Structure formats: structure tokens, C-alpha cells
């Protein structure tokens, strides 16, 4: 029983319950498959969220101890705000103008620069394809692509590192839009999503506008 508990990442005591507990995702779950919610989260996903929550708590305590103040942009908008205007604000703070992107030699460089610029704003960014240091616990993109843990002082974004680089970049901006909303969320951000929850579609529109501004697209093409 101890080996089974270890292999399935289950506390031993749970095996003595009359039925499995209904473990819920501790943050709002925005994932959908075919416009239907995902039923049961895996132990890997739950443990990754708990790990990030612990790190966020440490970061928040550290920030408060050093006199940090709430971030102006965290929770500054709602889904009633125009996605293009929010995208302009995000792009301005990130210094992510279209012309400057030519300096990125490849997607890995673009992702690294984006992480640095987001963290310069005060948002902690974590990217990993495994749970903690366990190489046997690989995170599946079929389950989730990222999540945001909102906080006025120590917001955190987590990106599933097993995803392709281009998708990671899009998810990163999508989760940053959730920070602008001041809402925690577990996401399966997809640029071509046509259905889903209102906040997810709004964040998709913001992310699309940040990365490919319509005005620049119309001018060039």
C-alpha cells in the first residue's frame, strides 16, 4: 500500500477512506475540451499549483518585508475594457513594440526576453515541464498550458514547459492578462479558441493584440 501511495502520489491515509475524495482545483478552472469543463485534475497538476502557491507566499512575504507596494496594473481592468486598449498598455510596459522584435534571433530568445520583461514589472514567472525536481512527473499539455495566481503584490504566472515555444509565449501573455484582471485562473489558452468562458476569450483577444497588433498588421499587409 505504501508503494502504491508513492507511485500514485497519494497520501497513505486517503487509501483508507470509503471512497476517493473529490479534489478540486484550488483556483478558478477555465479549461474546456469541446466547450465542456475538464472533470478531474491530476495529482501532478494539483501538486504544481500547491508548489507555486507556496512560492508565491514566500515572494509576498519577502516583498512586504522590503516595503514593496501593490502593483498599479494588477486588477486594474475588467472584461468590459477594450482588449486592444489593454493590450496597448501591456505592450507599452513591456517595451514590446513591433519594430523592436526584429532583435529576437529566435523563439527561445523571444521567450527569455519576455520572461525578463514581465519579471521586471514585478510578476514572478515560472516555466517547467515537470513537477518540482521529479523528471518522472511530466506535465501534460493536454491537461493545461498555464495558470495565473493573482495578487496585488506578488502575482505569479506558471507556464507548462512541455508546450512548444510559440504556444508558451502566447500562454504567457494570456496569463498576464489574467493578472491585469486581478483573477487567478487555470488555463488552456489557445489562439484559435472560438468558444469558452468570457474571461478566457477576453484574455485570448488581449494576448493576440499584444503579439500581433491589428493596426500594424493592416499597415504592413
For residue range 32-56, list pLDDT tens digits in order. Answer: 655 555 668 898 999 999 999 999 9
pTM over 0.85: yes
CA 190 to chain centre: 12
pLDDT in tens, 2-17: 998 888 777 888 888 8
Separation in Å, CA 221 to CA 124, 213, 215: 36, 12, 10
Instruction: Please name every residue paired with 160 in a beta bridge, in sequence order, or none if there are none.
Output: 128
Beta strands in the chain (DSSP E): 32-33, 36-37, 124-128, 130-131, 134-138, 146-149, 156-160, 185-187
Q: Considering its fold, how many domains does the chain have in total? A: 1
Give yes or no for residue 217 having a pLDDT over 70.
yes
Any domain includes 51 = yes
Domain residue limits at 184: 25-220
Any domain includes 133 = yes
Spatial separation of the C-alpha atoms in residues 174 and 157, rounded to whole Å: 10
Any domain includes 62 = yes
pLDDT in tens, 94-141: 998 776 666 677 888 889 999 999 999 999 999 999 999 999 999 999
On average, the pLDDT of the chain sits at: 89
Q: Dihedral sign, CA of 190, 161, 176, 103?
A: negative
State residue 13's pLDDT score: 87
Any domain includes 210 = yes
Any domain includes 71 = yes
Any domain includes 6 = no
Any domain includes 1 = no
Any domain includes 12 = no
216 falls in which pLDDT band (50, 70, 90)?
confident
23 falls in which pLDDT band (50, 70, 90)?
confident
Amino acid at each position: 500500500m505504501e508503494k502504491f501511495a508513492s507511485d500514485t502520489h497519494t497520501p497513505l491515509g486517503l487509501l483508507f477512506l470509503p471512497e476517493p475524495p473529490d479534489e478540486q482545483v484550488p483556483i478558478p478552472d477555465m479549461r474546456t475540451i469541446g466547450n465542456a469543463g475538464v472533470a478531474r485534475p491530476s495529482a501532478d497538476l494539483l501538486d504544481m499549483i500547491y508548489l507555486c502557491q507556496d512560492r508565491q507566499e514566500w515572494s509576498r512575504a519577502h516583498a512586504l518585508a522590503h516595503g514593496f507596494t501593490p502593483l498599479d496594473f494588477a486588477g486594474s481592468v475588467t472584461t468590459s475594457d477594450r482588449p486592444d486598449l489593454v493590450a496597448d498598455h501591456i505592450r507599452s510596459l513591456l517595451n514590446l513594440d513591433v519594430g523592436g522584435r526584429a532583435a529576437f534571433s529566435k523563439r527561445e530568445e523571444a521567450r527569455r526576453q519576455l520572461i525578463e520583461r514581465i519579471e521586471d514589472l514585478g510578476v514572478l514567472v515560472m516555466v517547467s515541464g515537470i513537477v518540482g525536481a521529479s523528471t518522472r512527473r511530466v506535465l501534460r499539455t493536454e491537461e493545461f498550458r498555464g495558470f495565473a495566481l493573482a495578487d496585488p503584490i506578488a502575482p505569479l504566472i506558471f507556464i507548462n514547459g512541455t508546450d512548444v515555444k510559440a504556444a508558451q509565449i502566447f500562454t504567457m501573455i494570456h496569463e498576464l492578462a489574467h493578472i491585469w484582471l486581478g483573477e487567478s485562473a487555470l488555463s488552456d489558452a489557445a489562439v484559435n479558441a472560438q468558444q469558452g468562458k468570457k474571461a478566457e476569450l477576453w484574455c485570448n483577444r488581449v494576448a493576440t493584440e499584444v503579439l500581433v497588433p491589428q493596426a500594424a498588421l493592416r499597415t504592413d499587409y
